[in-house]
Amino acid sequence: MSTQPTQRAEPDLLYSQEEDALRAAVRDLLADHCDAAGVIARIESDAPHDRELWKLLADGMGLAGLLVPEELGGQGATHREVAVVVEELGRAVAPVPFLTSAVVATEALLAGEAPDLLAELASGRRIGTLAVALNLPAGSAYKVVRFEDGALHGELTGIADAAAADVLLVPADDGGLYAVDATAAIITAQVSLDLTRPLAKIVLDGAPGRLLGDAEPAVRRALRAGAGLLASEQLGLAEWTLTETVRYLKERKQFNRPVGGFQALKHRLAQLWLEVVNLRAAARNAADALATGSEDADVAVAVAQAFAAPVAVHAAEEALQLHGGIGMTWEHPVHLYLKRAKTDSIAYGTAGAHRAALAELVDLRAP
Amino acid sequence: MTDAAELRRRTAELLAAYPPADTDRLDFLRARFDAGLAWVHYPEGLGGLGAPRSLQAVVDADLEAEGAPDNDPRRIGIGLGMAAPTILAYGTEEQKRQYLRPLWTGEEVWCQLFSEPGAGSDLAALGTRAVREGDGDWVVNGQKVWTSSAHVARWAILIARTDPDVPKHRGITYFICDMTDPGVEVRPLRQVTGEAEFNEVFITGVRIPDARRLGEVGDGWKVAQTTLNNERVAIGGMRLPREGGMIGPVARTWRERPELRTHDLHQRLLKLWVEAEAARLTAERLRQQLVAGQPGPEGAGMKLAFARLNQEISGLEVELRGEEGLLYDDWTMRRPELVDFVGRDAGYRYLRSKGNSIEGGTTEVLLNIVAERVLGLPSEPRTDKDVPWKDLAR
């Protein structure tokens, strides 16, 4: 007696021609404006976020508004197109707040009634972030601030891209989700493992907030979409690390032959390729389920995250090892991918948290 | 141009002329073959109509709806999946006319005489010898192994060494071997499961007329590639529902038997469930690519994924069953006609799945193929390429 939710008949796991064209455009832009050396130089500067690049993606291409309906100033696209953009941003470890603002904060706003804020985020002129710690999966308890005498008080940590944000979406102890202007908060950068998506501490000391609606459904919706689309970012990370490692091992010679000709290494790379191929199917499935509003979306997202996290970390760890000494240096970009992949393995819930969710969803319960 | 409407019209005609309820099974299958509705992508006169392969589903659906008999494809998989495409690609007109019809109807079962005790992953090193006689016919001596269906087969596709003085890939010729020849001895080869799903075949002084050669003398390796590529296509690309594979029985046991659950098994089960679902989605994505006419290299990996998952999942299931996991349903030596990976109990599944990483190309060889053909990595330095076969180490 199974209590599994019914599956949708036919998830579309391919990329459409339009999605391929979108990918090509984003990849071209990133090739011109987001090279690894530039990212490495930027992450230790005062401005770790690349605002020029963000302007090109948001203003130039309209990507910040993909999930927002056209009547609210967005593009009226779906999670399928967003997934393609996220893949490419992952391939470049681009330091832009796309996932946090154009996906997670936007989804939280889509759950409420704030068309003006949505339009601002969709235009990319303002950046939003959901003030929930990056490690939390949908459905878990999150920290709230105190709502007292019409103002917000409290401290929140682990908030991704808060340093770049203009507006913070803050859950409070009265059950509401509030929009707080970033200028009304004290935002302090935390030294983060992944410097391309830095975390910050937010202190609210009597900050005014605008009530957007109930926090719980908005946060749940936002974190589920974040987790589902993060799998596409992890796919992009894994793709880059595999491709770059294969390229390097064809070129690198030791013992009078290309290192990539040794069977011990070939088998490891072939295994990795297989993992990436599987990840693509799982990530596409999650994006399609979110896009179609399928009743299978919870399962699709949990499967994608439970599968993606170990694959992206494995790919980055193999890339570092197989690059040998050069892979251990600050100047080689592989560390950017390792740090992002390891951070992503915790972001929006660990693989273990998503497996625990699956145990309920597909009726494989714990003892 | 044969389109779906035309195929449906022809199918209706066949059904009208040979109502399945009043027609002998074999008569119906022969009529279906002659109507070009057996495999519609084959040429006219050979069971097809030169139609797109994807339209076969249209015919199959209409026939099934009317209760028409099928040709029991699982029983004749080697004929349909391997012998037929090779005969179609390399056979003479006479060979195609003689072999394809009874092959498709299942009147004649085929087997494959490729692997040898000394030539497994290195198949091209095979040593079964075919020597040409004065009258142009061939006399074959040697031993083949891991031959499914040999005990029920009428014909075999056979590769043998015809020139030992040239490097191994160049001295092989491809034949059709009569399995009823008195020089062909089939012995069951008992496996770790207790049953003999396949055989070893001893070939002693078997005469093969030159008319049963497929392709040119010395071209057998090239011809065999057609056979082997079709084997790998046949293994990937099926459509499975969620929990449709090896994970299904374990998940059911988990739900039905709460007393067997432990925390350790729970963690491992969930991890494998996720991996099985990802592999299922990958197979589904591959299928969608094929339907859309964009075949990708992903197919090369599917067998690798399923072999590992089948082994790990069935291993977990034996452990999950605790005291029952110490038992085995039946060690009786049998010679089943069909291969069933998921049949019988957990112990059988565990042991049978050990073959999944060996049959149809070992996992190690397939990883090399992915590394070299998909990723473009260099091959290992080779010492056997330019050496005459007779001088190879063995």
Q: For A178-190, what is each residue's pLDDT tens digit?
A: 999 999 999 999 9
B241 touches chain A (CB under 8 A): yes
Query: Cβ distance A205 to A152 under 8 Å?
Result: no
pLDDT score of B238 = 57
Q: Helix, strand, coil proportions of chain A in percent (round to 5)?
A: 55, 15, 30
Closest CA to A285 of A264, A304, A261: A304
Find residues 249-278 of chain B whose CB sits inside 8 Å of chain A.
251, 254-255, 258, 261-263, 266-267, 269-271, 273-275, 277-278
Ramachandran category for residue B123: left, alpha or beta (phi over 0 → left; psi -120 to 50 → alpha): alpha
Q: Which residues contact A192 (CB under 8 A, 6 or more apart)?
A: A198, A199, A343
C-alpha to C-alpha distance for A62 and B82, rounded to whole angstroms? 52
> Residue A348: in which H helix or E strand, if any?
none
Q: Which two tokens stand for residue B122?
A: 């290195």
Nearest to A274 among B266, B294, B304 (CB): B304
Contact (CB<8Å) A14/B289: yes
Q: Which residues contact A132 (CB under 8 A, 6 or more apart)?
A: A142, A143, A156, A159, A171, A219, A222, A223
Q: Which two tokens stand for residue A176?
A: 């509401």
Residues of B in contact with A1 (CB under 8 A): 255
Q: Tell me the fold of A17-126.
A: Butyryl-Coa Dehydrogenase, subunit A; domain 1 (1.10.540)
Q: Which two tokens stand for residue B373?
A: 């053909």
Q: Which two tokens stand for residue A203?
A: 């202190």
> Residue A334: in which H helix or E strand, if any?
helix A334-344
B1 CB burial (10 A radius; 0-12, 13-18, 19+): exposed
B182 touches chain A (CB under 8 A): no
Exposure string of A101-125, with b = 16+ CB inside 10 Å and e = fewer, is bbbbbbbbbbbbebeebbbbbbbbe
C-alpha to C-alpha distance for A208 and A226, rounded to whole angstroms? 27
**pLDDT tens digits, one per residue of B267-300:** 999 999 999 999 999 999 988 887 777 777 777 7
Find residues 22-51 of chain B whose CB sits inside 8 Å of chain A.
none
Find residues 297-326 of chain B whose CB sits inside 8 Å of chain A.
298, 301, 304-305
Tell the CATH superfamily of the A217-361 domain: Butyryl-CoA Dehydrogenase, subunit A, domain 3 (1.20.140.10)
Probe site for chain A from B240, B267, B270, B275 (most A CB atoms < 10 A)? B270
pLDDT score of A9 = 63
Query: Cβ distance A232 to A84 under 8 Å?
Result: yes
Query: Cβ distance B142 to B119 under 8 Å?
Result: no
Say how many C-beta atoms besides its own lie within 10 A of residue B379's C-beta. 12
Q: Return mean pLDDT, chain B.
A: 92
Chain-centre distance for alpha carbon B197 = 14
Contact (CB<8Å) B285/A366: no
Contact (CB<8Å) B281/A270: no
> Residue A305: in which H helix or E strand, if any?
helix A297-323
B319 is catalytic: no
Closest CA to A137 of A280, A366, A344: A344
Distance of residue A247 Cα from the nearest chain B Cα, in angstroms: 9
Going across the sheet that includes A128-130, the strands are A128-130, A167-171, A176-181, A210-214
B240 touches chain A (CB under 8 A): no
pLDDT score of B231 = 61
Query: Cβ distance B334 to B298 under 8 Å?
Result: no
| Lookup result for tokens 């392969």 | B53
Which tops the pLDDT comparison, A186 or B3? A186
Confidence of residue B236 (pLDDT cuts 50, 70, 90): very low
ipTM attached to this prediction: 0.94
CA–CA distances in Å: residue B345 to residues A83, B195, B314, B321, B356: 42, 14, 10, 11, 17
C-alpha to C-alpha distance for A298 and A313, rounded to whole angstroms? 23
Nearest to A266 among B301, B304, B377 (CB): B377
Q: Which residues contact B169 (CB under 8 A, 6 or more apart)?
A: B124, B221
The H-assigned helical ranges of chain B are: 4-17, 25-34, 56-65, 77-78, 84-90, 93-105, 220-235, 247-256, 263-291, 299-320, 346-353, 363-369
Residues of chain A with CATH 1.20.140.10: 217-361
**Cα distance from N-terminal residue to C-terminal residue, chain A:** 17
Residue B380 reports pLDDT greater than 60: yes
| Lookup result for tokens 């990056």 | A134
Distance of residue A285 Cα from the nearest chain B Cα, in angstroms: 8
pLDDT score of B233 = 52
Confidence of residue B232 (pLDDT cuts 50, 70, 90): low
Residue B237 reports pLDDT greater than 70: no
| Closest chain B residue by Cα to residue A262 | B380
**Cα distance from N-terminal residue to C-terminal residue, chain B:** 54
Helix axis angle for B263-291 and A351-361, nearest 10°, is 90
| Lookup result for tokens 């296509």 | B233
Contact (CB<8Å) A267/B371: yes
- Kindly report the pTM of this predicted structure: 0.92
| Residues β-bridged to residue A171 | A177
**pLDDT tens digits, one per residue of A259-308:** 999 999 999 999 999 999 999 999 999 999 999 999 999 999 999 999 99
> Residue A361: in which H helix or E strand, if any?
helix A351-361
Please give the average per-residue pLDDT across B367-386, as a whole number. Answer: 93
Please give the average per-residue pLDDT across A156-168, as a whole number. Answer: 98
State the catalytic residue, choosing from B197, B200, B231, B317: B231
Please give the average per-residue pLDDT across B117-122, as a whole number. Answer: 93
B242 touches chain A (CB under 8 A): yes
Closest CA to A61 of A5, A21, A106: A21
Query: Cβ distance B103 to B76 under 8 Å?
Result: yes
Ramachandran category for residue A137: left, alpha or beta (phi over 0 → left; psi -120 to 50 → alpha): beta
| Residues β-bridged to residue B113 | B158
Cα radius of gyration rounded to whole Å, chain A: 20
Helix (H/G/I), strand (E/B), else coil: B153: coil
Please give the average per-residue pLDDT across B40-63, as a whole number. Answer: 92
Which tops the pLDDT comparison, B286 or A229? A229
Confidence of residue A341 (pLDDT cuts 50, 70, 90): very high
Nearest to A2 among B255, B289, B380 (CB): B255
Contact (CB<8Å) A278/B278: yes
Please give the average per-residue pLDDT across A151-155, as a whole number. Answer: 98
Residue B235 reports pLDDT greater than 60: no
Exposure string of B237-270, with b = 16+ CB inside 10 Å and e = fewer, is beebebbebbbbbbbebbbeeeebbeeebbebbb
CA angle A209, A215, A220 (to 5 degrees): 140
Going across the sheet that includes A146-148, the strands are A146-148, A151-160, A199-208, A186-189
Nearest to B367 among A14, A271, A281 (CB): A271
CA angle B1, B3, B6 (to 5 degrees): 100
pLDDT score of A4 = 41
Q: What share of chain B in percent tops pLDDT 70?
A: 97
Nearest to A266 among B266, B269, B367 (CB): B367
Residues of chain A with CATH 1.10.540.10: 17-126
C-alpha to C-alpha distance for B157 and B144, rounded to whole angstroms? 12
- What structural domains does chain B harbor? 4-105 (1.10.540.10), 110-216 (2.40.110.10), 236-361 (1.20.140)
B382 touches chain A (CB under 8 A): no
Residues of B in contact with A270 (CB under 8 A): 304, 367-368, 370-371, 374-375
C-alpha to C-alpha distance for A239 and A93, rounded to whole angstroms? 12
Say how many C-beta atoms besides its own lie within 10 A of residue B82's C-beta. 23
**pLDDT tens digits, one per residue of A64-111:** 999 999 999 999 999 999 999 999 999 999 999 999 999 999 999 999
pLDDT score of A7 = 45
Contact (CB<8Å) A267/B266: no
Residues of B in contact with A359 (CB under 8 A): 266, 270
